[in-house]
């Protein structure tokens, strides 16, 4: 989180049982309010995997008590989608609810369960099988700059008038720190880059952090071509889920139906991501 420390006032918490770390809560503060770190896609209480429910309850109580001592007024939490936990544990939600937390937002997070056979739509598979006619190829590459400058930035600017959360310099810095977790895959047509996907890998999950295509790549369905290859690639490597992110706009108020349909046709299912607020 240090790479954007200038944007947020960090207030991340570590919970210890004696000298043993049992929980982290990535967070930042704004005045007398504390948030699941707003520079991260996901947040919430991240507990030690084998921690029993009674201990998780004690962790929640300890954090609440500490925040009250620090005179915070409100806590805002964005929970991890369930597929990020190896056991799908959700007891933290119940403990928060029992202590007065209120669900104020629920997002649809789209992911493919790689433990099951892939369920890609017939139309996408049909075009995927025709790709040999278009002379497309893909590879993993360290060239983030070409994807950022020639594909991602122009596409986001043209379609949505926005910029990616990470600048090129930030993503390159992160990749140097986490070379085994952050990877770039790009698609080429006659040596011209036409699409790409930046992925973040964890033990169980692969997340497509950025995916974009040029106008030519869109005509050639280059992004679908790459997604299908990556789904097959990570399924063979034993990953459990391929996370394609949310499909919401305007702070979760609206759904991008076209994007939702595209992800469902690639075999995604909906996994809810919950947001809670707790008055301290």
- The whole-angstrom separation of Cα 163 and Cα 158 is 10
Q: Provide the residue ranges of all domains of the chain, joining segments of one domain with +.
A: 2-107+274-279, 116-239
CATH topology of domain 116-239: Aminopeptidase (3.40.630)
Contact yes or no for 112/118 (Cβ under 8 A): yes
Asked whether the predicted pLDDT for residue 249 surpasses 90, the reply is no
pLDDT tens string 158-204: 988 889 989 999 999 999 999 999 999 999 999 999 999 999 999 89
CATH topology of domain 2-107+274-279: Aminopeptidase (3.40.630)
Mean of the pLDDT values across residues 270-275?
Answer: 92
- Predicted confidence band at 130 (pLDDT cuts at 50, 70, 90)? confident
- Predicted confidence band at 98 (pLDDT cuts at 50, 70, 90)? very high
pLDDT tens string 223-240: 999 999 999 999 999 999
Edge-to-edge strand list for the sheet holding 13-17? 13-17, 20-25, 46-47
- Bridge partners, 193 (sequence order): 188
pLDDT for the residue numbered 43: 77
Q: Which of 73-82, 220-229, 237-246 has the lowest mean pLDDT?
A: 73-82
- The whole-angstrom separation of Cα 129 and Cα 1 is 41
- Predicted confidence band at 49 (pLDDT cuts at 50, 70, 90)? confident
pLDDT for the residue numbered 86: 59
- Predicted confidence band at 115 (pLDDT cuts at 50, 70, 90)? very high
Q: Is 236 buried (19+), middle (13-18) or exposed (0-12) by CB count in 10 A?
A: exposed
- Predicted confidence band at 5 (pLDDT cuts at 50, 70, 90)? low
Q: Which of 79-83, 125-129, 172-176 has the lowest mean pLDDT?
A: 79-83
Query: To the nearest whole percent, how much of the chain has pLDDT over 90?
Result: 76
- The whole-angstrom separation of Cα 218 and Cα 222 is 6
Q: Which residues contact 266 (CB under 8 A, 6 or more apart)?
A: 112, 120, 121, 124, 224, 227, 228, 231, 244
Contact yes or no for 194/211 (Cβ under 8 A): no
Mean of the pLDDT values across residues 150-158?
Answer: 95
The SS3 of residue 63 is: helix
Region of 196 (left: φ > 0; alpha: ψ -120 to 50; beta: rest) is beta
2-107+274-279 against 116-239: fold identical? yes
Give 90-119 as a DSSP string: -HHHHHHHHTT-EEEEEEEEEEEETTS---
């Amino acid at each position: 989180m240090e790479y954007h420390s200038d944007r947020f006032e960090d207030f991340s918490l570590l919970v210890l049982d004696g000298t043993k770390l049992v929980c982290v809560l990535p967070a930042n503060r704004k005045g007398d309010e504390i948030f699941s770190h707003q520079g991260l896609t996901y947040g919430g209480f991240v507990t030690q995997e084998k921690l029993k429910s009674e201990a998780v309850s004690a962790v929640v109580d300890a954090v609440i008590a500490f925040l009250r001592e620090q005179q915070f007024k409100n806590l805002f939490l964005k929970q991890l989608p369930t597929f990020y936990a190896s056991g799908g544990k959700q007891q933290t939600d119940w403990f928060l609810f029992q202590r007065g937390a209120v669900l104020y937002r629920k997002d649809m997070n789209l992911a493919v369960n790689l433990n099951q056979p892939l369920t890609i739509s017939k139309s996408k598979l049909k075009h995927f099988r025709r790709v040999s006619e278009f002379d497309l190829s893909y590879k993993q590459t360290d060239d983030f700059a070409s994807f950022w400058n020639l594909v991602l930035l122009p596409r986001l600017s043209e379609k949505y008038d926005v910029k990616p959360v990470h600048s090129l310099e930030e993503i390159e810095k992160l990749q140097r720190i986490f070379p085994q977790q952050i990877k770039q895959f790009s698609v080429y047509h006659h040596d011209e880059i036409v699409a790409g996907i930046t992925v973040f890998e964890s033990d169980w999950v692969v997340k497509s952090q950025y995916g974009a295509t040029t106008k030519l790549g869109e005509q050639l369905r280059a992004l679908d071509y790459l997604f299908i290859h990556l789904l097959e690639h990570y399924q063979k490597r034993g990953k459990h889920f391929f996370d394609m992110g949310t499909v919401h706009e305007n702070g979760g108020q609206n759904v991008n139906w076209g994007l939702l349909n595209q992800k469902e046709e690639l075999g995604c299912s909906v996994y809810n991501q919950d947001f809670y607020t707790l008055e301290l």
